[in-house]
Amino acid sequence: MIEKVRTHIVVLACFVLLSAILTFSQQKERNRKLDSAQKDTSAESASAADDKDKDKNEDKEEKSEGDPIFRGMKYRSIGPFRGGRSLTAAGIPGDPTTYYFGATGGGVWKSTDGANTWAPIFDRDGASSIGSIAVAASDPNVVYVGTGEACIRGNMSQGDGVWKSVDAGKSWKSVGVKDSRAIGKVIVNPRNPDIVFVAALGHPYGPNTERGVFRTTDGGKTWVKVLYKDENTGAIDVAFDPQNPNILFAALWEARRTPWSLTSGGPGSGIYRSTDAGTTWKKLEEHGLPKGPYGRIGLAVAADSDRVYAIVEAREGGGFYRSDDGGDTWDLVNSSHSLLQRAWYYMHVTADPQDPNTVYVADVEFFKSTDGGRNFNKVKVPHGDNHGLWIDPKNTKRMIASNDGGVTVSLDGGKSWTREDNQPTAQFYHVITDTRTPYYVYGSQQDNSTVAIASRSDDGAIGRDNWYEVGGGEAGYIAPDPTDPNIVYAGDYQGNLTRFDRRTNQVKNIAVWPARSPFSVDRAHRDLAARSQHDLLRRRARFQNYRRWHALGGDQWRSDAQ
């Protein structure tokens, strides 16, 4: 009996042990499969994250560096610290220290010390060509930027839509209207930073449909095209009634650019008004306005809401118009050509935010009227070719203006202005280097002079004493003598061609008329070869300063070195 009990106990023990071993084995297998699944999931997640980061980094690198061949190289600024073309600037009401401006080729810049110094804040984000900047008055941390300039020169750069910052320019996000390419104006509802209107000119060089006036009511998440004419007509200006943001005025412009021509105006151009926050629009015609077709138009609403200013390019009757009843009827109050010249490039109007009789017009020169536009006086600014103006609504003596020489701030209503040589935003049409060590870089700056600047210096910085002018002008090519960098040839408009000698700082005109750029200096013979736009075979060579031009055939000439 005892033996049988012993046998049963052994069998039972063996069964329990076998069950435990089997259970442990199954649990181990389940754990192994679970670990494997978790590892696979983690690996997939990590791989996806790595791919996402990789794509993001690649996009960033592609944005900042361009061609893969140059990704190992890094740019450094060598100057010159001289302002370049700018169409737009903005400040913060009541804050005399903070300003923003957009360069047509240098992105967005910000100052926090009253325009004494500027820092770039848009270098690795959107397009470098800036058409308009707007700071939300109700929340100055919110800034909108419309990329792509709408002063449609033949050498402009295109934009990539609207960008937004919610942290005062520290970071940016693309928020739409990406195929507009050129934006004339961005405005933000003064009471709601999420309501924004954009005047999009569209493709300057061809037709497209992403043009007209766009509106967002959710901070750029969605956009509605609220005013549209056709694929050849875009919006160039839009303005709020300062007392009632549900009332807006907009200008449409039918225009087309080619590298060699410009067409400004057509049946699509016109002035429009909305009284329901941009949902519907009415075209304003007759009642004192000139007959169409119109070209470019600039708009501004005065402080009292009833007065509206419009500067109109028209085949007949163009000029500075004023309405004193909210746009119902109009009067031509000034027809001076000084306010209308090169209309496709200017036509900028800014109303004083407190005084309805004070209004500014930015053109080749800068004008101010204190009698509602009937008479204008010139305001002296640091540079010509004026475009943008922002006036502090809390202190109208404080303003920031933008022009072809950069941006400048006034604290006394335009009597004095800050310097423009603290912003390295110059646009250069052509660049070339010489053969000295360290080499110098030569360029012709838009609306300014030629420049020869050192690529580095022994002083820890490349300062004003490290660059100088070399003759010629903004539009020309430059050719340093390859055997003597002190001798520099430079071109300009109308066939101008100069020879500069650094040793004497003397510039001589050596042009063959009507020769034009491009040209080069032959290293072996030190001859200067110039290519003209015309057939010069039958023209006589021009002698000057012991130099003689020889016709080479076709439209090429050569000048023997002295």
pLDDT digits (tens, 9 = 90+) for 98-109: 999 999 999 999
Provide the b/e sequence for 403-433 (b: ≥16 CB within 10 Å): bbbbbbbbbebbeebbebebbbbbbbebebe
168 and 104 share one domain: yes
Residue at 49 is within a domain: no
pLDDT digits (tens, 9 = 90+) for 325-350: 999 999 999 999 999 999 999 999 99
Name residue 234's amino acid: G
pTM (2 d.p.): 0.83
Handedness of CA 534, 540, 544, 549 (dihedral sign): positive
Question: Would the pLDDT of 17 be above 90?
Answer: no
Quote the DSSP letter at residue 189.
-
Confidence of residue 549 (pLDDT cuts 50, 70, 90): low
331 and 183 share one domain: yes
Out of 383, 410, 437, a domain closes at: 410
Q: Are 88 and 402 in contact (CB under 8 A)?
A: yes
Question: Half-sphere exposure of 126 toward its Cβ, with a 13 Å CA cutoff?
Answer: 33
Tell me the CATH number at 347. Answer: 2.130.10.10
The pLDDT of residue 20 is 44
The pLDDT of residue 26 is 47
Average pLDDT over residues 376-387: 96
Enumerate residues 6+ apart whose C-beta is below 8 A from 35: none
Residue at 21 is within a domain: no
375 and 435 share one domain: no
366 and 502 share one domain: no
Confidence of residue 94 (pLDDT cuts 50, 70, 90): very high
The string of DSSP codes covering 343-398 is GGG--EEEE-SS-TT-EEEESSSEEEESSTTSS-EEE--SSSSEEEEEE-TT-TT-
Number of domains in the chain: 2
Q: Are 295 and 317 in contact (CB under 8 A)?
A: no
SS3 per residue for 258-293:
ECCEEEECECCCEEEEECCCCCCCEEECCCCCCCCC
Alpha-carbon gap, residue 237 to 379, rounded angstroms: 24
CA angle 320, 321, 327 (to 5 degrees): 150
Alpha-carbon gap, residue 236 to 297, rounded angstroms: 7
Alpha-carbon gap, residue 219 to 411, rounded angstroms: 32
Q: Encoding tokens for residue 269?
A: 């151009």
Question: Would the pLDDT of 56 be above 90?
Answer: no
Average pLDDT over residues 389-408: 98
Enumerate residues 6+ apart whose C-beta is below 8 A from 130: 86, 87, 88, 102, 103, 104, 107, 108, 122, 145, 146, 147, 149, 159
351 and 456 share one domain: no
Question: Would the pLDDT of 40 be above 60?
Answer: no
405 and 433 share one domain: no
Alpha-carbon gap, residue 278 to 330, rounded angstroms: 22
Write out the residue range of the structural domain in which residue 474 sits: 428-559
Strands (E), 74-168: 86-92, 95-103, 107-111, 119-120, 130-135, 143-147, 162-165
The pLDDT of residue 158 is 94
Out of 410, 441, 465, a domain closes at: 410
Q: Burial of 492 by CB count in 10 Å (0-12 exposed, 13-18 middle, 19+ buried)? A: buried
The pLDDT of residue 537 is 33
pLDDT digits (tens, 9 = 90+) for 170-219: 999 999 999 999 999 999 999 999 999 999 999 999 999 999 999 999 99
Residue at 72 is within a domain: no
pLDDT digits (tens, 9 = 90+) for 289-302: 999 999 999 999 99
Q: Are 78 and 121 in contact (CB under 8 A)?
A: no
**3-state class (DSSP) for residue 136:** coil
Residue at 37 is within a domain: no
Residue at 78 is within a domain: no
Q: Encoding tokens for residue 365?
A: 């020169």
Residue at 1 is within a domain: no
**3-state class (DSSP) for residue 15:** helix
Q: Is the peptide bond before 438 cis (omega within 30 degrees of 0)?
A: yes
The pLDDT of residue 12 is 44
Alpha-carbon gap, residue 420 to 155, rounded angstroms: 23
Residue at 146 is within a domain: yes
103 and 250 share one domain: yes
Alpha-carbon gap, residue 471 to 488, rounded angstroms: 8
Mean confidence (pLDDT) of the chain: 86
Residue at 34 is within a domain: no
238 and 331 share one domain: yes
Confidence of residue 476 (pLDDT cuts 50, 70, 90): confident
Quote the DSSP letter at residue 541.
P
294 and 442 share one domain: no
Name residue 307's amino acid: R
121 and 235 share one domain: yes
pLDDT digits (tens, 9 = 90+) for 225-243: 999 999 999 999 999 999 9
Question: Would the pLDDT of 550 be above 80?
Answer: no
236 and 330 share one domain: yes
Task: List the beta bridge partners of residue 436.
Answer: none
Out of 344, 377, 410, a domain closes at: 410
Question: Half-sphere exposure of 19 toward its Cβ, with a 13 Å CA cutoff?
Answer: 6
Residue count of the chain: 562
255 and 115 share one domain: yes
Q: Encoding tokens for residue 264?
A: 């400004």
